[in-house]
Structure 1
Amino acid sequence: MKLLVLAGTAEARGFAAAAVTAGHDVTVSLAGLTARPASLAGRQRVGGFGGAQGLAALLEAEGFHALVDATHPFAARISAHAVRAAEQTGRALLRLERPGWPPEPGWLRVPDLAAAAAALPVRARVFLSTGAQSLAAFAGRADCWFLARGAEDGPFPLAQGLRVTGRPPFTAAAERRLMEAHRIGLLVSRNSGGAREKLDAAAALGVTVVMVDRPPPPAPAAGRARVETVAEALGWLAAQSAK
């Protein structure tokens, strides 16, 4: 099958590699938010599509048989575009999304980044592990000190703090050293699921966790399936290939 994979996660990398190994024709699409993306199996394209209409046009023009949305759990816009494009073109659509972390006692759960910024105590020392694109949401909290981590260096629009670079995987010991070195009292995280070393480090240090809930998924669509693991995604692919 000829597949278009909307990537940006470890699950996308794993699925693309397995699909290529199984003999499928795979194109992996990246948003282009980082200058040095991780290597991926299959052909790669970088950049947007021009909305749902542009994505639908690409599916038709390139003759893709199916669309696999393996983007980040918080990439709500592209996921909504994928649903509309699949509906418009009649392509099969799979959403591959790892499960979130179950709520834990002591977490302060908030619906979005604006609510997370509003929830910060005055003069808090905060570790922002929400990605470089989220920093603007905290620009109004000039009273707080922020440690912000991103995959690459870039602007730091906050009044107080430091930006550091790093790419997963991280160890719990390294996360603990980072928080201790900067006297972090509060961790802001999005509920992206997966590796939880930063959460384990925060728990060990008594650091308060502000957890941003996932955005609601797009409305259900005909022909759209949802799985949580690469193995399940490969099972879906096998079923589609057999049709």
Structure 2
Amino acid sequence: MILIISGTREGREITLLLVSKGYEILSLNPVNHGERLITENSSGDVLVYEGKDALTRLLETNRFKAVVDASQPFFEKISGPVKYFCRNNIIPYIRFVRAEVELPDSPFLFPVYSWEEAAEKAAELGNTIFLTTGSYNLEQFASYPQITGKRLVVRILPDQRVIEKVRALGILPRDIIAMQGPFSREMNKATFRMYGASVIVTKESGRAGGTDSKISAALKLKIPVVVIKRPRMEDEQIISVHTYDEVLERVSEAIRK
């Protein structure tokens, strides 16, 4: 059996591709940042796992031949433990990597390499900080001392649990935008303008994540953008792939072993 960590368009497409090739699949879709794990197997059966130990039980009770991780590149809450499990159990860990968006040369762009650095730079650049990073790691901004007294506007998924988490961190209802993306450049421009954004914070999550349209919209309005670059993958045991054909090739190799 192959485990696919999904939660992205690529994850869904890879799942369908492998099923069409006859592979036995268990697709894991993290929602609410891993608080619930929804899995679907090749037969279409859906299972929901709740709680912190759900992932461990899932990994220990199934004999996976390989793991294909096509989740968001910043989502270490799931990817981290899975990588650790694969390393300890000699299971191939295949990481699908989205093509990066090439950042234009602009004085309004500020690449950073951590959430803490992003909060620091955003606090330095403006008083109305517009977060397009969802609720993940929102506490890094909400609790950052230099952001105290500044306005935080957050765009999140329209999910009740996510909204409750954001409210619990002290974000006012008027500063919560609960909408499902992706968003066009014009939609981003209109939203940034409407909320009076003085700095935008985004993740470098590829075109599929809307990074290019966010940056383009902000630069058109001459609003500074803090771009959180992807975590560096330095683990030699990670098999990085960039195309669906590479996924098929690596899965085939894992099955033959």
Scaled by the length of structure 2, what TM-score is found? 0.79
Please, which runs of 5 or more residues in structure 1 have no aligned partner? Answer: none
1:206 paired with 2:206, answer no
Corresponding residue for 2:151? 145
- The residue type paired with residue 31 of structure 1 is P
Contact 1:127 1:188 survives alignment (8 Å): yes
What SS does the aligned partner of 2:4 have?
Answer: strand
- The residue type paired with residue 145 of structure 1 is R
Corresponding residue for 2:138? 135
Q: How does 1:12-27 map to 2 (within 5 A)?
A: 12-27=11-26
Contact 1:5 1:68 survives alignment (8 Å): yes
Alpha-carbon shift at residue 41 of structure 1 (Å): 7.5
- Residues 122 and 171 of structure 1: CA distance in aligned 2, closer, same or farther (over 3 Å): closer
Cα deviation per residue 1:173-200 (whole Å; 9 max; x = unaligned)? 1111111111222110111222321111
Name the % identity: 23
Corresponding residue for 2:95? 95
Cα deviation per residue 1:123-177 (whole Å; 9 max; x = unaligned)? 5222101111222112241332222011125133246660111222211111111
What SS does the aligned partner of 1:132 have?
Answer: coil
1:117 paired with 2:131, answer no
- The residue type paired with residue 193 of structure 2 is E
Corresponding residue for 1:74? 74
- C-alpha separation between the residues in 2 aligned to 1:62 and 1:8? 20
For 1:163, which of 169, 176, 183 is the aligned residue?
176
Report the count of equivalent residues.
Answer: 237
Corresponding residue for 1:229? 243
Scaled by the length of structure 1, what TM-score is found? 0.83
Cα deviation per residue 1:23-74 (whole Å; 9 max; x = unaligned)? 211111123317999997844444467398x26xx44532222111122111
What SS does the aligned partner of 1:177 have?
Answer: helix
- C-alpha separation between the residues in 2 aligned to 1:203 and 1:189? 13
- C-alpha separation between the residues in 2 aligned to 1:14 and 1:8? 11
Contact 2:125 2:199 survives alignment (8 Å): no
Please, which runs of 5 or more residues in structure 2 have no aligned partner? Answer: none
